Each structure stands twice: as structure tokens, then as C-alpha cells.
A and B are shown apart, each in its own frame.
Chain A
Amino acid sequence: MPTTTLNSFRTGPDERGHFGLFGGRYVAETLMPLILELEKAYNEAKADPQFQGELSYLLTQYAGRPSPLYYAERLTKHLGGAKVYFKRDELNHTGSHKINNVLGQVLLAKRMGKTRVIAETGAGQHGVATATACALFDIPCVVFMGAVDVDRQAPNVFRMKMLGAEVRPVKAGSATLKDAMNEALRDWVATCETTFYCIGTVAGPHPYPAMVRDFQCVIGNEVRKQLVEMEGRLPDTLVACIGGGSNAMGLFHPFLDDKGVRIIGVEAGGKGVDTGEHAASLTGGRPGVLHGNRTYLLQDAEGQIQEAHSISAGLDYPGIGPEHSWLKEQGRVEYVSATDNEALEAFQLLCRLEGIIPALEPAHALAHVTKLAPTLPKDNLLVMNLCGRGDKDVFAVAERLGVKI
């Protein structure tokens, strides 16, 4: 690890896709040439005003951006500390931040002449977003989803099917997000000449972590502008939940070089990090290699990957984006965790206080906000990314609360 302070935290990755020790391209040789082709195509698209113009048009007119920055007055009063703002990415078309990235990637797939798109999904938010963009662009779409997640996120499965996507339940391993990603990679290696793999988070082989981050940075860039308009200055505190970490990276990255901004990522603590049944890779894991990149992973002493546990299917993943691993080791971002029960309480609190039903994923971020905000002064501007809405979770929450609907 570097002992000197960096001039910027925003220059990564290097030309080989590394963020310090993390990231890289640990994939089968069959995929390597395709990944290099993708990197080249993405770099060209990024520099092409026409591509950026098309993306920007879709984000505005189709997805509904910019999403509002909302001052949660009742919650702020209830917590009695920091002034809490929500970045309302749950109001985007399809109900989460996932659409930001998917529109970029599917536009890129079209530009590259690919004729089929595959994706993995946990909670189904990325799957729904991908199915949506594929319907819009008339591209066949296959979504891999762990069989356990297919059961606990039934509304999203039906949504994807309505949108014309094929949902393939994955029964291997723990039948959750990591296994869906294995299966998507297996499909891709057999179909890579015609198929575009639309990864939903800031993980996977380079260039995915950087590309997905770039597409998600619209979140943080909007917050900068909006908060300056509303408060005349930058935020003091940023909070976001982390599974793979795309909503968090999108919010955090534009602020990494603003030294006064405290940045906190909240992992899924499941039944508690000390119980061993959780999804907090940064808190409870160590560096390893999986799914194309080196990053913090939940694993045993030998390096066998362990199953993650979380009430939230979207956070139920034993790894995390490599740039988060790097930011942890650099000490630039603080990483904490919130348990299933804490998230459930926060979920209900937000419904009652603000009339917003959050997804279980940002409910983890909110759980931390309820702990943190009361300890901060009233002039502390705290922005939390409310990255998804909870319609998909109401059945799971009802079951958990012992309510029959």
C-alpha cells in the first residue's frame, strides 16, 4: 500500500484495470479477446459526443433523470441531528439506479453490433432494467437468476418476463447472485462472439468496474449540482448501501477528492457479522480472486468461496467491486454494516415517516443513517442514496413480519 497521500482518488484503474492490488482481468482465455474488444469499444464510445448525447437523452426522457434530491424533514426531526437528504434514484424508470448503467451498456452493445444480451441479477432490479432496455432496443435478453432469488423476488421475475426477457433460474451452489454470475459467465464463454454481457455492478473483469462506475456517476454528479443549488455547498456526509457497490460508487466517486466529505458504505450484516451469516465482504472477508477480479471476498482458509447471507437479495453476494476494496485500504471510504433486523426496522420507519417504501437494499443504508445522524450536528448535510423502491420487497417483508397478504 502507498505510504504517501495520493493527489487524487479518481484516476484509477491503471491501463491493466488494477486499482492498486485489486481489479484486473482474471478470466478464461476464450473471453480475454472479447474483454479487450469491449474495452476498446467503450473507450471510443466514451469519447464520442453522439454516444454521450444519446445516453443523456435516454437518461432524461426515458429514465426520468435527474432524480430529485429530497430533504427528508420529518426523518431529520425524528433523528434530531444531521440534515438528511435522499437522492431519489428509486424514482427512476424501473425503480432503481440500475437503469443508469444498463442504458449505457445496451447502447454500447448495439454500437458493437451484438445481437443478444445476457445479465445476472440478485434482487431482480438489474434484470428488470436490462430487460427494459432490451425491449426498448429490440434485442433478445436472457437473465440468469439464482433459484432462491427467483422465489423471493417473484414480482421482478414476472416483470422481466412481461418485458420479453427469458429468466433462467440457477440451481447450482447457493442458488443466489454469485451462482447467477457463474452461469452468466458460462453462457458468455460459449456465445461471446454475438452476445454482450451486461454486468449489473462495479465488479467483474476490467473494464466493467470502471465502465459501470462511469455510467453510475450521474448520481453523484447530480447531487453536487443539486445540493449546491439548495444549500450553497457540498455535503458533509454521504451514505450508501453496498452489495457489489454500484449505487455507492456512483454517489461516492465524484466526491472522492473533496477532502471535507465523509463517505460511508454500508454492507449487509445479515444475522450479524460475528455470526458468520452475513454479506459484509469488506468487514468479514479478505482479498481473493473471483468473477474476473481481485477483491475482498467471503472465503474459507483455503480460498473456497463462502455463501453470503442477507435479507436483501441485491446485497447477497460474497464479493464487492474492486475499487471499493481499494478505497477501503486507502482509508478514503469508511465501510460499516447493518443487520437484517436493523434494515427491516429502517424500512418500516421510512414508510411511516416519509411515505416512501424503500427497497431492502437502501434500507441498510438508512439503518446506518438512523444510528449516525443523531450523533452529528444539525448543520451536517447528509446525503443518502435511496437507490431503489420497495415494491418488489413487500411480500418478503410481510412474510418476515408474520403478516399474510
Chain B
Amino acid sequence: MSRIAERFARLKADKRAGLVTYVTAGDPNADVGYQILKGLPGAGADLIELGMPFTDPMADGPSIQLAGQRALKSGITVDATFDMVRRFRKETGDNATPILLMGYYNLVYQRGAERFCKEAAAAGVDGMILVDLPPEEADELKPFAAANGLDTVLLTAPTTDDGRLPAVLKYSSGFVYFVSVLGITGTKSATEEAVRTHVERIKRHTPLPVGVGFGIKTPDQAAAVARHADAAVVGSAIVDRVKAGLDDAGKPRSDLVPGVFAYVKALADGVRGVRKG
């Protein structure tokens, strides 16, 4: 069983939903970015999405765009991202928290999908979420991901109707990521009713866990999602805490990392306060 499947099985046994936290690798720099990554499970993250910064993040709002720019400016590369994951597994001894790489396909394509998957898996990565690789193009990646034991988490959206869902699910493993609003990351928020309806609809098609993201900013919103989904995904709002911890010159202040963890803990408390099943 993959780390992702094990983690969701564990969450189910604990009768609660999970918290998936997104941070951009190397934001605001490699050192502080690693400190954040390292401390996320302790702060309450059940799964981690590690963003690979890209110059042209077409599906992201201003928060994650800026995070990517900070990381790229600090010189982060794909190799550095792999190193960070490797170091996390080695130094923390955490072999249970799944780490998924999230980003845009060109970085994978340039390295070659086969080599990328091999290196990612060797570093301790568990899965990939590629925003611009819909099922129509996913066969470029899926065989190599599968051969290396990497889950591929595809996105579903409110526009993904029942006719189309099976195509998305065909390439999905680990969990299904439901993008709860029409739009880019970190902008609009869905109503609890809309989340419930869509999660129920997706679950009619698949036994996979459903994670819901986009627009979750508060512990209350995270709790509302946790009532219906198997996991709540929070990204932009966490990344905003990184930005809030920078001084006027863009240098990280000493309260940056604790500020991120305090916020993640509040989200985790929100999610864990919901008893399931």
C-alpha cells in the first residue's frame, strides 16, 4: 500500500478527515522553506503538497504566483526540491506522511517523465499533481508514475460532469482532488452545500478518498469541508503566512516559521474537531 493509501486508511480508522497543506518548495528560500516542510507534520499536516515553482503558473492566483517568484529568485531547482524531500525523510525519520509534488507539466517533461518519476520516487515523493495535465494527455506520465510507485492525483472541477468523471478517475490514484470553485487558487470559496453535493457525486463514481481545495482560508472553512470530504487542502492561505513573515526587504523574520505553524495548527484543530462516521 502506498503512503497515501495508508494515510487515508489511518484517517478513516481515526474517524476524521485529513489536512493537506500546500507550500511552495524553497519559499522564501531553501533553508527556511525546508524548516517549514520539516515542521508541517508536527503542526498538524496529514499530507503535504510541495509546489514546484514555475515561471508561468497559469492556474494560480497572486499568493502562489508570488511564492513561486520568491522561490525561483532564491535559486530553487527541481534537484533542490528532490533534495529537500530526501532530507525530510532522512532527518525526521517520518516515513508515513505522504509528500506530493504539485506544479506544471513542463518541468517534468523537460527532465523526461520517466527520469522525473524515478528520481522523485527515489527521493521519497509519493505522488504528483500536475495542474495542466488533464486525462487527455495523462498517458504521457501515468505509466512511468505507476512503474515507480507514484500516485497521480488528477483534478476534478465543478465543470467535470458525470460523463467525464470516469475519464479523470481512470488516471487517478491515491485520492481525487476536487477543485471546489471555478477559478484560480486562493480566490473564491465554495459554499458547504456545493462541496457536499459534488463530493457525494464524485463518491458515486469511485472508492478513492476525495480531497477538496481552493479558497479554504479559515479553520471554520476547513472544518466545513472536513464534514463532507476526506481531506481539506489549504495552499494560498498558508503561503500568505510565509509572505506575512517577511520584512520590508523581503528577508524572513524570526517569527515567520512559528507563524506558519500556528496557522497550520489552527487549521488542523478545525479539521480534527469534526468527527466522522
* Cβ contact within 8 Å between B58 and A190: no
Given A29-B155, A182-B56, A302-B107 in contact, is the A190-B132 Cβ separation under 8 Å? no
User: Per-residue 0/1 for B50-68: is the Cβ within 8 Å of any A Cβ (1 yes, 0 no)?
Assistant: 0000111111110001000
User: Within 8 Å of chain A (Cβ to Cβ): is B146?
Assistant: no
* Cβ contact within 8 Å between A186 and B107: no
List chain A residues, Cβ under 8 A from B168.
29
Given A186-B58, A290-B56 in contact, is the A191-B182 Cβ separation under 8 Å? yes
User: Per-residue 0/1 for B162-196: is the Cβ within 8 Å of any A Cβ (1 yes, 0 no)?
Assistant: 00100010000000000101111001100000000
CA distance A289 to B141 in the complex (A): 14
Q: Which residues from 183 to 207 on chain A have a C-beta closer than 8 Å to any C-beta of chain B?
A: 185-186, 189-193
* Cβ contact within 8 Å between B106 and A299: yes
Q: Considering the complex, give the chain A residue whose CB is closest to the CB of B105.
A: A289
Q: Which residues from 124 to 166 on chain B have a C-beta closer than 8 Å to any C-beta of chain A?
A: 131-137, 154-161, 164
Q: How large is the interface on B (under 10, 10 to 19, 20 to 34, 35 or more residues)?
A: 35 or more
User: Within 8 Å of chain A (Cβ to Cβ): is B92?
Assistant: no
List chain A residues, Cβ under 8 A from B111.
302-303
User: Within 8 Å of chain B (Cβ to Cβ): is A81?
Assistant: no
List chain A residues, Cβ under 8 A from B161.
33
List chain A residues, Cβ under 8 A from B77.
302
Please tell me which one of the listed residues B65, B156, B184 contacts residue A190 in the complex, with CB atoms under 8 A apart. Answer: B184
Interface centre among A25, A31, A32, A173 (most CB of B within 10 A): A32
* Cβ contact within 8 Å between A304 and B55: yes
Q: How far is the CB of A326 from chain B (nearest CB, A)?
A: 17
* Cβ contact within 8 Å between A30 and B132: no
User: Within 8 Å of chain B (Cβ to Cβ): is A27?
Assistant: yes
CA distance A192 to B182 in the complex (A): 8
What are 6 inter-chain pairs, A to B, with CB distance below 8 A?
A: A25-B136, A27-B132, A28-B179, A33-B161, A173-B55, A182-B57
List chain B residues, Cβ under 8 A from A192.
159, 182
* Cβ contact within 8 Å between A185 and B110: no
List chain B residues, Cβ under 8 A from A24.
136-137
* Cβ contact within 8 Å between A291 and B106: no
CA distance A343 to B105 in the complex (A): 35
Q: Which residues from 15 to 40 on chain A have a C-beta closer than 8 Å to any C-beta of chain B?
A: 16, 24-34
CA distance A32 to B132 in the complex (A): 10
Q: How far is the CB of A291 from chain B (nearest CB, A)?
A: 7
Please tell me which one of the listed residues A16, A25, A289 contacts residue B106 in the complex, with CB atoms under 8 A apart. Answer: A289
Given A191-B182, A289-B106 in contact, is the A32-B134 Cβ separation under 8 Å? yes
CA distance A30 to B156 in the complex (A): 7
* Cβ contact within 8 Å between A30 and B106: no
* Cβ contact within 8 Å between B54 and A29: no
List chain A residues, Cβ under 8 A from B43.
none
Please tell me which one of the listed residues A33, A191, A292, A305 contacts residue B55 in the complex, with CB atoms under 8 A apart. Answer: A305
User: Within 8 Å of chain A (Cβ to Cβ): is B5?
Assistant: no
Given A189-B184, A190-B187, A302-B78 in contact, is the A29-B56 Cβ separation under 8 Å? no
Interface centre among B56, B107, B157 (most CB of A within 10 A): B56
Q: Considering the complex, give the chain A residue whose CB is closest to the CB of B160.
A: A29
Q: Which residues from 86 to 132 on chain B have a C-beta closer than 8 Å to any C-beta of chain A?
A: 104-107, 109-111, 131-132
Q: How far is the CB of B176 from chain A (nearest CB, A)?
A: 11
* Cβ contact within 8 Å between A186 and B59: yes
* Cβ contact within 8 Å between B183 and A189: yes
* Cβ contact within 8 Å between A26 and B154: no
Please tell me which one of the listed residues A30, A34, A190, A301 contacts residue B188 in the complex, with CB atoms under 8 A apart. Answer: A190
Q: Which residues from 264 to 293 on chain A have a C-beta closer than 8 Å to any C-beta of chain B?
A: 288-292
User: Within 8 Å of chain B (Cβ to Cβ): is A172?
Assistant: yes
Beyond A172-B65, A190-B183, list 6 extra A-B contacts (CB 8 Å). Answer: A16-B136, A24-B137, A26-B105, A27-B134, A186-B184, A289-B132
